[in-house]
Structure 1
């Protein structure tokens, strides 16, 4: 059954996550600082706050995944 193959691929991606994260440390730091700055005094993070920073982090993860999959 092909369902087990889906889980294998997902586990493989999660196993590589620390490697991707290391390649995107700068983007992750910028996103984290944005989230921390907008959630001071126990405020909730609102939709679309830090969306540019998140988009940059997401793009970095996608690029890191492409580099390592080759």
Structure 2
């Protein structure tokens, strides 16, 4: 296993992050609304409370990252 170029690859992925995130603004907002609604007051976020919204965000982000790589 070679470590050559590992930092370069990591930096490149981080540079693409804002563009990928911008493509998924709607999904990110929906997930944020769900988390906010679920954790109002003293309630804690429970596992899978916003699973549907998170899955939509994950799929969008994965697709945006694939498009950005091409």
TM-score, with length taken from structure 1: 0.90
Deviations 1:10-55 (A, max 9, x none): 2211111110110000000000000000000032111011001000
Q: How many Å separate the matches in 2 of 1:13 and 1:2?
A: 19
For structure 1, the residue ranges without an aligned partner over 5 or more in a row are none
For structure 2, the residue ranges without an aligned partner over 5 or more in a row are none
Kindly tell me the number of residue pairs found equivalent between the two proteins: 70
Aligned to 1:29: 29
Q: How many Å separate the matches in 1 of 2:28 and 2:4?
A: 32
Aligned to 1:64: 64
Aligned to 1:54: 54
Q: How many Å separate the matches in 2 of 1:40 and 1:4?
A: 46
Between Structure 1 and Structure 2, which shows a larger proportion of helix residues? 1
Q: How many Å separate the matches in 2 of 1:35 and 1:22?
A: 19
Q: How many Å separate the matches in 2 of 1:4 and 1:51?
A: 37
